[in-house]
Each structure stands twice: as structure tokens, then as C-alpha cells.
Structure 1
């Protein structure tokens, strides 16, 4: 199942999105910018408060690939290169409010500006072990309450798409600043149309997160068919590299969002590799 289809399924609160967990190990999505020039989305660059812009290091395609997460970097998660189905092209996305576009692109893992190089990885959490069986036979023999808990535990799996983009000059600070500004203007909600399907973002709630030189996080509440589904988004910058982490949890798509938090372990591991 394509990741874009999974996103739609998650927004419709369907456990059929479990298919992503079995197909997350697609082909490589690592790529270089078309002309090797940096340049992020519009927005004020982060500085030191005295008008001076931060010094940045531009990672080459080889350096960015080396700094990207690999299996074993995050305990309890399976890491793989994102496949073609995980990639969303800017041309396939329209947003009903222009000022919300930078945030929408970060939320969908869309390439912004003209990065020198770019990589994408998927991180899928391993199922939590319980003392209850999870086979259909086991579920059938359990009391109703225990069966419900065991079923929820089996689907308490979080998938995170990690996108890294390396920029020259002030591309990375400007891109993060644009996403931050976009979120401030669009907290009341907006709509995204992707490949003909419209998704409504009902609201954004800012969350505390640390990592790299600067980072910011949100809970993104999406709405579809009368149901609200939470997603998590972290935007982070380390020197000249801009990173986004977009997570959804299968149990949360069914209305059980307890314990679904920002992907802090993944953010920490990625920030460390970029340092």
C-alpha cells in the first residue's frame, strides 16, 4: 500500500494502514538537488538577535546520506530507506490557504526550496510485548475487556517519516522560520488536497521539543468522515540541514491516542548523527 494511501486511511481511522508496517522497506529516496544551489522557503532567517545570521555547514549528498538514520540507531524501531510511495511531490499538493503551504509541505514531507541533497527514512516502532496472546484464537477466548486491550496493544505501532534536506547559505534557517510562521498563522485549521483527495487539518497544538540548533513540534489534528486523528510533527535544524519528523500511530487512528507522543527518541538520534 502506498504511504499516501496509508495517510488517507489513517485519516479515515482505518486499521488497514497496518500494511505500511509490512512494506516500509521500499527503494531509496535519497536524492540531490537539481542544480546544487541552496535556498529555502521564504521567511526570516533565524539569527542571534543582533542581525547576524547563523553560520551553517552544507552537507554534500554523501555526507547527508552518512548522517541519515540506519537500522540500529533507534532502539525499538525498524529503520529503512523510504520508498517511492512515501514521497509526496509539491506539484501534487494544493492548500486552500497560501500562508499554510510551508506547514502543509512539512507535514507531508514535501521537499521545500532547492536543497543540495535530500534523504528520507522510515522508522516503525516494534510491537509492545504483553503477557496476553494476540492471535485470533487467543482473542476469541479472552474476556471482552482483555481482548480489546490486547487488540489495542497489537496496533500500538508508530510510523515516522524522517526527511532531511541540506541547504547552502541560509536555506535551512529560512525554511524552519517559514514553517514556524506558517504554523502560527494556521493554528485554526486548513485543507490540503493531494492527488485529488482532500484532508482537513482541524487544528495545531504546539509541543515542547529540543534538538539540533533549533526545533519545534506540534500535534496536528486531522479530520475525516467525522473522526479526528492525531499526527505528530517535529521540524528541526542542525546547521545547514533542515529535518522533519512526521508520525502517526495505528491505535490512535482508532481513537486510542494514549501514550502517542512526539518521536523524541528518533529526533535525538538524528540530531546526534547530524552533529
Structure 2
């Protein structure tokens, strides 16, 4: 799936997601684990109703997406190689850490449980397409890392409040993420409209500039005590003007399973 037609610069910028696609094709059965350390805004937390019961990792596994839940998508469990462990990701601006950690899937705060899935859109084959068009069509698919984290008390609401505040502070000027010796410059954050859950946030995240720019999508939604985060990439989309749709079918299916 890592076709040579994809620009080398795009592949470097998309390093955080390359293993996501590769593992989804091979079918990993390992569980996602991780920790983080963050605090959030009290304003949003105060609007949360009586706290729902926090779910353990085992309980989250039961409400995560499974194969067959989203038509036209392949779904697999995440493995330890898909989500960087705490301390392996750094951000050059402290106020941008919550957003940067969410971008890589690093867990924030102290969740009672967490788990993940990799969801990859299955390209539609066109038997009449030329080899070039067939290659382009094979790349034109959205790959999404879905992570769930469940918190006690108002932890879930604080998690979203913290993410919103971080995005607001870091939307101008950009920031740099570092992981395993690779730096990635986030140059633009654009908030997008999305529905689902009790509270949902979404952004188009651009790394790089000009022809070397790569767009990603980051969505975080709260349902009770659980936060679901969706990090998406489309390998066919590169350039400052490039864009792709939010994975709404994936989001809707996961929110429905959370109840």
C-alpha cells in the first residue's frame, strides 16, 4: 500500500500514520496501551452532567468498532507500534503539547482504560481504469486511527477542554512535533464542523507548506466518561490546497457503539 507514486516528502510528513496503514493490512491483534500527563479547562468540565462510570480497557474493547461495523472499511486492533509511548513525542511549544499528543495518539491525563482500532477505507476497483488511474484510486482512501480513553469524574470533559484551548493557542504560528528523530512542522490548524456525541471537536491539520504540505484530520468526541479520538490521513492528498472528507461514517459508527 505504500506506493512509490506518493511524494517522498509526503511520506516523511506522514510518518506517524504509515504504520497505521501497514498494520491494518496485516491484521494486528494487540491491544493499545498508553499514558500521558495533562490537565484541562474547568469551564467545559463544569457543563458536564453527573459523571458516567469510567470504563476499563476490557470494557472499552467491547464498545470499540469491529469488522463489519462500517461498510467498505477494514478494521483491526491496534498494536504497540501504532501508538507512541509516553515520552517518545515532544512538542517545541508547551501550550501545543495537548494537540500534538492527540495528533500522535499519545494518551493524555490518567485514563482508567484505553484501547484502539485502525480503520482503513477499502478502495473501489474500476476494471476499466488505466494502470495510472488504478494506482491513483488505490491511494485515494482514508485511513483512521481510532482511540478510546475513559476517565473518572470530569476527566473526559477536561480532556476536550484542554484540546480546544491548545488548538486556539497554536492555530497561528504553528509548532513542531518530534518523534524518534523525525520532526514534523504543523503549519496550519483549521476548525471544522462535525456532529456526534455529547461534545465534538474537529480540525484540518496541515503539515509542511506549498506542494510539500500534507493534510490530516483530527476529531475528538466525548460520550459520557469516554473520549474517542479519530486521526485520519488520505495518501492521495498532498499540497496546501488538498483536502479530504472527515471520516463521518467511522465517527458515527463509533459514537453509536458508545451509546
State the TM-score bracket (shorter-chain normalisation): 0.7 to 0.9
Question: Structure 1 residues 9 and 69, CA, compared in 2 at 3 Å: closer, same or farther?
Answer: farther
Is the 8 Å Cα contact of residues 9 and 212 (structure 2) preserved in structure 1? no
* Aligned counterpart for 1:213 among listed residues 198, 205, 222: 198
Q: For residue 14 of structure 1, report the CA deviation from its aligned partner.
A: 8.2
Q: Distance in 1 between matches of 2:57 and 2:198?
A: 21
Q: Distance in 2 between matches of 1:186 and 1:129?
A: 40
How large is the RMSD of aligned CA atoms in angstroms?
Answer: 2.9
Match of 1:23 in 2: 23
Is the 8 Å Cα contact of residues 12 and 225 (structure 1) preserved in structure 2? no
Match of 1:56 in 2: 51
Is the 8 Å Cα contact of residues 19 and 82 (structure 2) preserved in structure 1? no
Corresponding pairs, count: 249
Give the match's secondary structure for 1:121.
strand
* Aligned counterpart for 2:76 among listed residues 80, 84, 87: 80
Q: For residue 157 of structure 1, report the CA deviation from its aligned partner.
A: 1.7
Q: For residue 22 of structure 1, report the CA deviation from its aligned partner.
A: 4.4
Is the 8 Å Cα contact of residues 13 and 254 (structure 1) preserved in structure 2? no
Structure 1 unaligned blocks of 5 or more: 2-7, 140-146
Structure 2 unaligned blocks of 5 or more: 2-7
Is the 8 Å Cα contact of residues 199 and 222 (structure 1) preserved in structure 2? yes
Q: For residue 40 of structure 1, report the CA deviation from its aligned partner.
A: 5.9
Is the 8 Å Cα contact of residues 161 and 247 (structure 1) preserved in structure 2? yes
Q: For residue 273 of structure 1, report the CA deviation from its aligned partner.
A: 0.4
Q: For residue 211 of structure 1, report the CA deviation from its aligned partner.
A: 1.0
Is the 8 Å Cα contact of residues 26 and 84 (structure 1) preserved in structure 2? no
Equivalent positions of 1:25-40 (< 5 A) are 25-31=27-33
Q: For residue 63 of structure 1, report the CA deviation from its aligned partner.
A: 2.0
Q: Distance in 2 between matches of 1:9 and 1:180?
A: 29
Match of 2:42 in 1: 44
> Any idea what the Cα deviations from partners look like across 1:120-141, whole Å, max 9, x if unmatched?
10000001232434xxxx52xx
